[in-house]
Structure 1
Amino acid sequence: MIALTSLLPIVYVCCGLLPLVLVPYSRRHSEKPGSTGLLVALVGLSIWTTAYGIAIASTSSLTILALGSLVIFGSQLAAIGYLFLALEYTDTHELTPRLVGGLAAVVIAVQVLSLSNPLHHRVWGETARPVVDTTATEPLATAIIAVTMAIVGVALLVLVTHAVTTPGVRRRQSLALIAAGFPTLVITVVDIYLIAEYVYSILPFGVITSAFALAWALFRADFLDVVPVGRKRIVEEMDDAAVVLDADDRVVTCNPAARRLVGVGPDYVGLPAERFFDTIPEAIDRFRESGGVDTEITVASDGCRRYFHLQRSRLDDSRTPVLSGRLIVLRDITPLKRRKRELERRESELEFLRQVLARVLRHNIRNDLTAIRGYAELIAAEADGERADLAETIVETSDDLIETSRTARRTEDITDRDAVSEPFDLAARLEAHVAEFRSRYDRATLSFEAPDECLVETDPWLENACEILLESVLERSDEQSPSIAVRIERTTDRATVVIDEDAGLPQAELAVLERGEEMPPELDSGIGFWIVSGIIDRTPASITVETSGGTARISIDVPT
C-alpha cells in the first residue's frame, strides 16, 4: 500500500500546475490592464509549488539547493506579478523600466545569495526541506522574506484602497483579487514561522486558493473582460488643459497639457492661480467671476493668437456644503475658429456667385433666349426645307434652355425661403395641375382619382413638389404614350399622393428622388427629381419609390 506521505510530492506538483490552466485565457486578453501582472503571478505560483514538490522528493543536497532557489524565485515572481497586476488594474503607477529593473535586480541578488549558500550559510536552514533560516542569527534570510511579503502587502493595500473607493463591478473585481493574495500571504507566514520544522508544507493550499480566486475574478467578476479605463490616464493623455484648484485658488494638480500651455515646471503644486495663469491674463479675470464659467478667451502664444473654450466648474464636498475647489478646463478651439472663418468666407463667395448666376439666368439669358426664339419662329414661318427644320431646332433648344432657367429660379426660391405651414385643399390643386398637363402632353394618358376634398396643413411648396414631380415624370418618359395614374388616398391623420407610371424612368434618377443623393452629371436633365427631394426634406412629408419591371410607384406621404 502506498503511503500518503509518498504521494504528497505529486500533489504539490499538481497544485503547481493548476495556475497554468489560466495562462491561455490571460494571454488572449494581453492588451487589457492587469494582464501582464496576472501572467507573471501565475507563472510564479506554478514555479513556486512545483519546485517545492520536486525538492522534497530529492535527496541530493545540490539538487535541493537548486530547487530551493527556484522556490524563492517563484515566490518572488508571484509577489512581483501580483504587484504589477494591482498597479496596472488600478492605474496607480505605470510599469516603468525603472520599477521593473529595480525589482529584477532584487530577484537576481536573492538568487545569487541562495545559490551561493554553501559558501556563507546565511539563507537556508538545516531542515529536510527547503526552508529559509529565519533564526535571529541570520537576518539576511528574514530580510528576503520581509521584502517579498512587503511587495505583496503593497499590492494588497492598492487593491483595498481601490475596492473602498470604487463601486459596482470594479469593487467586485478588486475583492476577488484581494482574495487571491491575502490567504496565500497568511498561509506562507504560517508555513515559515510556525511549521518550519516539519517536512511537509501547507503552501500548496495557498496556491490553490489563489488559483481559484483568480479564476473567479476572470470568469465571474469579468476581470480582463470589463476593465475600467484609468481616470488618471485619461486626464494625463487628454489634449485639453485641466487644472484643479483648492478652495483658496491654489493649484492642486494639473495635466501635461496645462503645464505646456502656461509654461510651468514640475514644481507647480501650491501656486496661486494668478501666478500659475500669469501668461493668460484673460483667464485670471474670468476666475474672479462668481458661479460657473463657460466662455471663450484669447491667448497670445509665440506671436500667434490662439482661442480657447474655458470652463470652470465647482468641486463640492459631498459631506459638507462648503466649496472644496474648482476644475478649470481649457480646450484649444483655434482650428475650429479658423475653419469657421474659412466657411464664412466661402459662404460669402458662394452667395455672391449665386446672386450673379441667378441674375444672369433670370434676366439676361432668359431675355436673350426669348429674342432668339422669336427670331427663330419668324425664320421657320418664312423659310422652308432644311432652313425651316434648323429654325425649329433652335426654337426647341430655346424652350429647353428657358425651362432650365425657370428650374434654376425655382431652386433659388426653395433655398431662399423658410418653411411655413398653412391649410389648403391638396385634391383641388393637384386636380388643376393634372388638367393642365393633359392639355400640354396630349401623347400621355393621365388619370386622376381623389376625394372631393382633401385638406392638409403643411408647407404650400408641397403642391409645387407634386407639380414638378408629375412634370418630370412626363418629361423623362421614354414611352411614346406613357400611362400615368394619379390618386390621393386619405386616412384620419394623413394623405398620400400616389403616382403610378409605366414611363420607364431610369433607376439612377429614381434613387435621386427617394434618397436625395447628389445628382450625377450625366443626369442633369433630371434636375426636377432633385428639386422634389429638396422640397420634401423641408416639409414633414416623406417620399418612397417602388419599382417592379418597367413600372414605378411614387408615394408622397403627408401628415394632416
Structure 2
Amino acid sequence: MRLFDLFLFGFPAILSASVALFAWQYRSNPGGTPLVIHALGSAVWILSYGAGTRLNSQLLAPGMLGVSWLAAVAVAFSGMYVAVEYTERTWLKQPVVLGSIGGYLCLEALLIWLNPRGLFYTRVPTIVQTGTPVYELGVWWTVHLVVVFAAATAMLGMFFQVYLSESGAYRQQARTVLVGIAVIYITAIVEVTGLEPYPDLLYNATMAGSTVLSVTFLWALFHADFLELTPIARKTLLEDIEDATIVLDHQDRLVYANRTAQDVFDTGPEYTGMSADDLFDSIIGGHPDRIINMNDSETEIAIAPDDERQYFTMSASTVGDDERGRAFVFHEITAQKQYELQIEQQRDDLETLNQVLRHDIRNDLQLITAYGDILDDECETENKQQYINMINKSANHAVELTQTARELSEVMLSDSVEEQRVTLQTILTDEVTEVQASYPSATLVFGTEIPSVTLAANDMISSVFRNLLKNAVQHNDKEVAEVIVSATDHEDTVTVTIADNGPGVPDGQKETVFGKGERGLDSSGTGIGLHLVNTLVSIHNGDVWIEDNEPEGAIFSVELPTV
C-alpha cells in the first residue's frame, strides 16, 4: 500500500477511533454505548475497505471487502441506536426488535461468507496489481442497501425531530450531529448512484462522509456536551405528572423540566443546560444552595411569581443506579397552606378573645368577691350570711374555672407540648401544699414517700395533680374530706394515686367523666378540669383511670413516663 493510501484510510479510521475513545467515558449515559460501537465499527469498515481494495491478494481481498460490508450494516444500526437512546424511544429496545436486528446481522454474515447462488455477489473480486478490482453484486446487495439506508434515515429523522422540538443545549447538539449525518447520507447516495468523480473501488465517497460525521461527533462531544448533557428523564412518563418535575445531571445542570414545571416556574426548553444555582435562584430567589444541597430528602418552599405566593413540598432523589443526576419534584400545597394559615389566624384571634374574656371576667369576679367580703363584715343575720357565703363560693369557683380554661386553651391552641424535665416530688409537694392552704378543713397527706423521679414533661403537668386534688376535696360529701397521695416508681414510668373518702364514681361514669363537658358526680361544675387532666396526660403519653376505694371513695391513678 502506498503512503497516500495509508493517509487516505488511516486518518478517517483514527478519527473514528478517537470518537470511540472519548465516548467511552459516557458509555453509561443514554446513547454512549451505541456511539462507541458506531465509532469502532466505522474504523473497522474504513480499514477493511482499504485493505480489500489495496492488498494484492486474491485470498485476503474478498474477505476484507466482506468485513467492510458487514461493518457498514453494524455502523448503520449502532448509529440508529445512538438516536434511539438519546431520544428515549424505548420500544425500539424491546427484545423482539433487538433480536430481529441481531438475526439480520447473522444472516448477512452467512450470505457474505457462503454467498449461496450468488445472492450477494456473482463474481469474486479480481485483484489487479495496478488496476481496479472488479466484482458484480447480486440481488442481496439491494437488500443490504435498503437496510443501511433505512437505519440511516431513522437516525436522521430522530435527530431532526429533536432539533425541531427541543431548544437550548439539546437543539445545539442535534444541529451539530445532523450536519454529519446529512453529509454521510448524501455521500452514500452519491456512491450508490455512481455520481462520484471516481466510480471505482479505489475511492469511496461514503468514506469521506464518515470522516465528516466523526468530526461532528467530536465537536458535539467537546463543545456541545453531547452524551454528557442528555435527556435522562423519561419524558413520556414525566410529562403526564401533575407535579412540577425538574431533572439535573451530575454537574447540576438542567436537563429536563416537564410541562407543569415550565408553566409554574416559567422555565422553557431554552433553559436546558442552565446551572442549578441560576435555575433555583430564578425560582425561589436567594439561597438556592439549600435546595441544591438536598439529596433524597424533602422540604417545604414558598415562591411568589407575579406577587401571588405559592407553596410546595419539594422532594429530591437521585436518578439512576450510578447517580447520574437528581430529580426534584414540586407538589403544590398552596390550598392546604392557605387553610393552615387561616386556621392559625383564627386560633390567634380566639386566643386574643379568650384572654380578653378571662381578664374581664376575673375583674368582675374580683369585684363580686370584694363586695361580698364587705357585705359579710356588715351582715349580722344567719340567713343572709348563708347567701353571702354562697356568692363568695360561686365567685371563687368561677375564678378557678377561668384558670383551668386558660390552661386548657394553652394546650388546645398549641401545636405540641414542648418537652422539658420536671421533678415529680417537687410538683406534688407544691400542689398538695397549695390545695391544703385553699381548703384548710380538708386533710391531705402522703401515703408513701414520693420517689425522686424526673418526668418528660413541662410545668403544665402540675395542672393534672392540682385538678385531681381539688376534685377530691370539692366533690367530697363527708364532714372532713380525706385525701391520700401515693406514688410508685416502675423504672420507665411512675404511677401517682389520689385516693379520697368521698361518694366514689359509679362504674358507668368511670370512662365518661374525663370526656369534654361531662358533668360527673352530680356536680354543678362543667367537667372542664377533668377534661384538662385527660388532655394533658394524653399529650405526655400517659394514662389516667379511676378505681373504687375501700371502704368508700374513689382512687384517681395517673401513669406518666419518666426519664
TM score, norm. by length of structure 1:
0.43
Bigger radius of gyration, 1 or 2?
Answer: 2
